[in-house]
A and B are shown apart, each in its own frame.
Chain A
C-alpha cells in the first residue's frame, strides 16, 4: 500500500514542490494549535470554555491583572486602571484609569463609560454567564471619564479578584457592542496586545498585533489560532514544523514520548485542576459516614500519582487546588488501609462488601477509573462502572444519578469560589442555585459563609482552612491530585516571562513574546 501511495503521489503531483508558496517573510507569525473544533464565543462574558478564554485573554484587558505567568492573588497589578483606593468599610472602590488606552481598529479611547458598560453587562444574566460572579455589585458608576467607582452590597473576599482580567471582567468597547446589537462576538473589540482580524469557521482565528498597545507594540505580528481537535494531528503538525505552540495531553506517556521530538519544550503549568472523588451523602449507602470513610481508606494516593504521572500531576491532600488564596495542606488524611476499610464496612452493615453503580465520562479519566475500581475492589467495594458519552454524563450527574462523581476543576484562585461551588449546600444538586456540589456537602457552610464577610485577612484564612478540614473529615469528597496544564512549544519561542500558571489555562502571549 505504501508503495502504491508513493507511486501515485509521485505520478499525480510530481513537480508540485516547485510551485509551493514562498518561504515565510520576516514577519513574526505565531501558529498555535488548540484542541477544540470550533470557536464558541469571542464575547468574554459568554464563554466558559478554555479554548475561548485563552484567546480572549490575548485580546482584552481588565482593570487589574495577574502578572503574566502567575495567578497569585497577592501579586495582582494595574492593567487598565493605574491605581485604586477603597473606603474603610471596603464597600466603595475607586479606580483611576490609565490615560490614552486605545481600543482596537480605531474604536477610540477607553473611558470610564466603557468600563461601567462592560461591568454592568457582565453582571446581567441576560448578557453574561458570569453574572453570579458580580452578584455583590450594587452600583458601578463613572464620576468622571477617568474614574470608575464600584459600590458593593456587602463585603466580598476580594474585590480585586472579581475585576481581574479574565472572562466577564474583561473590558469591551461600548461603541462596538452597540453597533453590533448584541452580536458582539462578530466584532470583538478590546484593548489587549492582539486584535481580532478574522475567524474562518472551524479552521482558525487570525489576530494581528495592536500597534497602539499601552505596554508597547507586540513583537509577534500575527497569530494563527488553529482548531485541531485530533490529538495525534496536533502532535504531528508540530513535528512537521507547522505549529509553534500547542495544547498537549495531560499524560505522563505523552510528555515522555514528545520529549524526544527535536526543538520541543514541554510546558507544565498551573492552575492545577483538582481531581475530586465526590461522594453523594444524600444517597444510600453513602449517607453513612462509615461507608465514605471506608472508601477513603481504600484509596492508595501514591499509586494514583504514579499511575497518572508525577510530571503532570501534583499530590494534593485538600479539597481546594494547590496555591489558591486560602489553601491549606494541613488537613486530615485518611491512611491507605484496606483492613480498616473492611472493618468500617462491616460496622456499617456490609460485612460482604457492597456494589455501587457509578457513571463515568468516556472522555476523561478513563484509564484511572480502572485503577480506582481495582483499589476499591480490594476493600470489597464493587464499583460497577458505566462509561457514557461526555455530554450525557454532564447532564446525568446533575440529576443525582451517580453516587460517586469523579470530577476535575479549577476556578478563580481564591478558596471561596471553589468551596462555594463544590461544597456549599446552596450549590447542591437540586437546589435553585445549584452548581457542582455533587456530594450534597454542608459540613463547611458556616466557615465558608463567615470567611466571605470577614474583614481581617488572617481570620478569613483561618475560616477557609477550617472549612477544608471539616469537609474532608465529613468525607464529602476524596481529593486525588491536581492535574497541571500541559502544552508543547518550540524552543525558538520566547514567551517573555516565566510560565508558572495562567488564569486562562493557556500561555499568555504578551507584547514581549517573540521568536529567538
Chain B
C-alpha cells in the first residue's frame, strides 16, 4: 500500500516538470510585461527597465529557466513579482478558502446528486426521471457565472438571505458558513449534475443483475436492496467520475470566486495572469498539478476501500 502511494507520488515528478516548464515558456511567449503591469501606464521606459532588471527579466531565457528549476529542486517556488511575498505564503493565505469551497461543493453534489440519480434510475422514463434529467441538463449547461448571478439576484436581492460579498471574514462561524453557501451551491450544482448522471447510469446497469433479483427474491427490504446491494456496486464509477471531475471543479472555482468576491486559488491565478506575474503562475501550476495528482490518488484509494476486488499495484 505504502509502496503504491510512494510509486504514484514519484511518477508525478515528470508530469509536474513538464507542466511547470510549459507554463514557464508559454508565459514568456505571451506578449505582456510584468514591469508595465506593476508600474502602471505612466511609467517611463527607464523605470520599466530598472524593474525588469530587478526582477531578473533582462537575463537570457535559459538562465531564467535554470534559476527556476534549481529553485523548484530546492523546494523554493520563489516570490511573487507583484506583491514580493513568497508564492507558498500567497497560496497558504488563500488555500483554506478554496478548500472549504470545493469540499462544500463536493459534499453538496454527492449529498443531493446520488439520491437524485438513484431515484431517476428507479423511476426511469417517468416523471421523477424527467425532472432529474432536466436538473442535470441545466446544471451541466449553465456556466457558473450565470448560476452565480441568478443565485445572488434571488437569494441576496429578492429574498435577502445571503450576503453578496462571500469572503470568509464575516463575524463568527455562522456568518462564515452563511457566506460559504451561495458560492458552494453555485459550484456544487454542476458537480451535482455530473454525479446524478453517472449515478443514474451505473444504478441502471446494476439493477438488472442477478444478485439484485436474488436479494429481492429473498424478501429483503427494498431500501436495503438499493442501498446495500445496488448502490454499493454502482458506487465505483461514481467515485471515478467525481475524482476526474475535481479538475473541472477547480476551474469553475475561478469564476465562482470572482463573482462572490471570495479569496482563493482561482482569484490568485487570474490576478497572476493579468499582471503577468510569471513566478506566481509557475508556482500555482505546480501546486495545481500536485493537487490533481493527489486527488487522483485519493480516488484510487477510496475505490480500493469500497471494492475489495480492486488491487493496488
Q: Is the CB of B138 within 8 A of A202?
A: no
Q: Which of B119-127, B152-160, B212-220, B238-246 is found at the contact surface with chain A?
A: B152-160
A358 within 8 A of B: no
Contacts of B268 in A (CB 8 A): 202
Contacts of A370 in B (CB 8 A): none
CB A199 to nearest CB in B, in angstroms, measures: 10
CB A323 to nearest CB in B, in angstroms, measures: 19
A87 within 8 A of B: no
Question: Residue on A with the closest CB to B48?
Answer: A398
State whether A19 and B32 are in contact (beta carbons under 8 Å apart), knowing that A230-B259, A242-B165, A409-B42 are contacts in the complex: no
Contacts of B93 in A (CB 8 A): 201-202
Q: Which of A247-255, A335-343, A432-440, A496-504 is found at the contact surface with chain B?
A: A432-440
Q: Is the CB of B271 within 8 A of A9?
A: no
Q: Is the CB of A433 within 8 A of B46?
A: yes
A26 within 8 A of B: no
Q: Is the CB of B46 within 8 A of A16?
A: no
Contacts of B248 in A (CB 8 A): none
CB A468 to nearest CB in B, in angstroms, measures: 20
CB B284 to nearest CB in A, in angstroms, measures: 14
Question: Residue on A with the closest CB to B182?
Answer: A9
Q: Is the CB of B274 within 8 A of A391?
A: yes
Q: Is the CB of A230 within 8 A of B36?
A: no
Q: How many residues of A contact B (CB 8 A)?
A: 64
B249 within 8 A of A: no
Interchain CA distance A204-B168 in the complex, whole Å: 11
A174 within 8 A of B: no
Name the prevailing secondary structure of the B interface residues.
helix
A228 within 8 A of B: yes
Q: Which of B17-25, B173-181, B292-300 is found at the contact surface with chain A?
A: B173-181
Contact of A411 among B42, B84, B170 (CB under 8 A): B42
Q: Is the CB of A395 within 8 A of B33?
A: yes
CB B56 to nearest CB in A, in angstroms, measures: 16
B47 within 8 A of A: yes
Contact of A131 among B41, B47, B153 (CB under 8 A): B47
State whether A5 and B185 are in contact (beta carbons under 8 Å apart), knowing that A38-B271, A48-B39, A228-B261 are contacts in the complex: yes
Within 8 A of A (CB), among B1-44: 30-33, 36-44
Contacts of B172 in A (CB 8 A): 19, 21
Q: Is the CB of A129 within 8 A of B36?
A: no
Within 8 A of B (CB), among A203-253: 203-204, 226-230, 232-233, 236-237, 239-242
Q: Is the CB of B263 within 8 A of A392?
A: no
State whether A391 and B276 are in contact (beta carbons under 8 Å apart), knowing that A40-B38, A131-B47, A433-B45 are contacts in the complex: yes
Q: Is the CB of B154 within 8 A of A434?
A: no
Contacts of A19 in B (CB 8 A): 172, 174
Q: Is the CB of B157 within 8 A of A8?
A: no
Within 8 A of A (CB), among B178-233: 178, 181, 185, 189
Q: How many A-B residue pairs have CB under 8 A?
A: 178
Contacts of A8 in B (CB 8 A): 108, 112, 185
State whether A236 and B178 are in contact (beta carbons under 8 Å apart), knowing that A203-B169, A392-B31 are contacts in the complex: no
Contact of A9 among B32, B46, B185 (CB under 8 A): B185
Contacts of A390 in B (CB 8 A): 274
Q: Is the CB of B46 within 8 A of A125?
A: yes
A388 within 8 A of B: yes
- CB 8 Å contact bits of B40-64 with A (1 = contact, 0 = none): 1111111100100000000000000
Q: Is the CB of A394 within 8 A of B47?
A: no
B68 within 8 A of A: no
Question: Residue on A with the closest CB to B160?
Answer: A240
Q: Is the CB of A13 within 8 A of B157?
A: no
Within 8 A of B (CB), among A416-474: 421, 427, 431-436
Contacts of A431 in B (CB 8 A): 45
A256 within 8 A of B: no
Contact of B31 among A6, A16, A395 (CB under 8 A): A395
- CB 8 Å contact bits of A110-134 with B (1 = contact, 0 = none): 0000000000000001100101100
B247 within 8 A of A: no
Q: Is the CB of A233 within 8 A of B260?
A: yes
Identify 19 residue pairs between A and B in the complex whose beta-carbon atoms are under 8 Å apart, listed by A's number.
A5-B155, A19-B174, A37-B271, A47-B40, A48-B40, A125-B46, A125-B50, A129-B39, A129-B43, A129-B47, A131-B47, A227-B261, A237-B261, A242-B164, A390-B274, A391-B33, A391-B274, A394-B36, A433-B46
Chain A contacts to B: CB under 8 angstroms: 1-2, 4-6, 8-9, 12-13, 16-17, 19-21, 37-38, 40, 47-49, 125-126, 129, 131-132, 183, 185, 200-204, 226-230, 232-233, 236-237, 239-242, 388-392, 394-396, 398, 409, 411, 421, 427, 431-436
For the A-B complex with A37-B274, A132-B47 known, give 9 more contacts whose Cβ atoms are closer than 8 Å: A8-B108, A21-B170, A228-B261, A229-B267, A236-B153, A242-B163, A392-B30, A394-B33, A411-B42
The 3 closest A-B pairs by CB, nearest first: A48-B40, A391-B32, A434-B45
